[in-house]
Amino acid sequence: MLRRMKIGTAAGAGRSCVAVLFFLVCGLLAACSNVPDGPLASDLKTNAAAPAGAGAMSPTVQKGDKLKISVYGEPLLSGEYVIWPTGTISYPLLGEVPMAGLTVREAQQRLIQKLNGRYLVNPNVLVELISQKPIYVLGEVAKAGEYPYRDGMTAMSAIALAGGFGPRASTSHVLIRRATEGESRRYAVGSEVVVFPGDVLTVSERMF
């Protein structure tokens, strides 16, 4: 009789342990279901493919800019070239080469591709932007006018270059017409808005 009681007690204890484990597992599963889903593999690939700072535009060379082109060992192919109103440069051997709208690196790659094989073997080409179009700051600023472009220039630094806001200026936004666009766009002054060569900034008069 005592043996049966011990066996019964042991079996009951075993069932109790199984029940406790069952409830623990259920609780863990429920907790996991409340955790936000992690990113899918496709999302991770998409995010990884997006370059940092993708929202920012890369500066490009424009009509009127001046390029310094150096070809190692080829002094006749090296020199300074102005981008004509046609958007091209007149380059030895190649004639008219379109350049406007390209970044400096793209301009360099274009020359390498055109020279390689036909005229030179693996040419070492370096392109530098040595002169750029000015910017224009107009409207309600202290000294509206034309100003030389500086690397890393923002809307705020351009306005500061023009003497700052005038007494009737709207300090909340600025209108910018890009050299590559046909119409002005409105930008918040507080944000780090990048300015590029040839841009026209207009500070509006505030509304009373």
pLDDT band of residue 46 (cuts 50, 70, 90) is very low
Q: 88 and 96 in contact (C-beta within 8 Å)?
A: yes
Please tell me whether residues 75 and 100 are part of one structural domain: yes
Residue 203 pLDDT > 80, yes or no? yes
Residue bearing the bigger pLDDT, 55 or 132: 132
Beta strands 125-131; 79-82: pairing state: unpaired
Which of 131, 163, 184 delimits the end of a domain?
131
Which of 106, 131, 156 delimits the end of a domain?
131
Q: Can you give the pLDDT at residue 28?
A: 42
Residue 40 pLDDT > 70, yes or no? no
In a domain? residue 141: yes
Please tell me whether residues 124 and 139 are part of one structural domain: no
Which of 101, 131, 161 delimits the end of a domain?
131
Classify the C-alpha dihedral 131-53-164-167 as positive or negative: positive
Residue bearing the bigger pLDDT, 131 or 174: 174
- For 35, the token pair is 């955790």
Please tell me whether residues 125 and 178 are part of one structural domain: no
Residue bearing the bigger pLDDT, 68 or 8: 68
- The CA-atom distances, in angstroms, between 61 and each of 77, 78, 86, 122, 144 are 20, 18, 13, 24, 25
Q: Can you give the pLDDT at residue 50?
A: 30
Q: What are 57-66's pLDDT values in tens digits?
A: 567 888 889 9
In a domain? residue 208: no
Measure the CA–CA gap between 8 and 14, rounded to whole angstroms: 10
Most confident of 22-26, 37-41, 163-167: 163-167
Residue 15 pLDDT > 80, yes or no? no
Q: Can you give the pLDDT at residue 57?
A: 57
Residue corresponding to tokens 């094989």: 117
- Predicted structure pTM score: 0.57
Contacts of 176 (CB under 8 A, 6+ apart): 155, 184, 185, 187, 193, 195, 199, 200, 201, 202
Please tell me whether residues 112 and 143 are part of one structural domain: no
Q: Can you give the pLDDT at residue 208?
A: 67
| Residue of 35, 128, 115, 44 lying closest to 73 (CA atoms) | 115
In a domain? residue 19: no
Domain range for 191 is: 135-203
In a domain? residue 114: yes
Measure the CA–CA gap between 62 and 139, rounded to whole angstroms: 25
Q: How many domains does the chain have?
A: 2
Please tell me whether residues 71 and 125 are part of one structural domain: yes
pLDDT band of residue 140 (cuts 50, 70, 90) is very high
Question: Domain containing 85 — which CATH number?
Answer: 3.30.1950.10
Question: Domain containing 183 — which CATH number?
Answer: 3.10.560.10
Least confident of 21-30, 124-133, 166-175, 182-191: 21-30
What is the average pLDDT score of the chain?
78
Other beta carbons within 10 Å of 185: 11
Q: 68 and 80 in contact (C-beta within 8 Å)?
A: yes
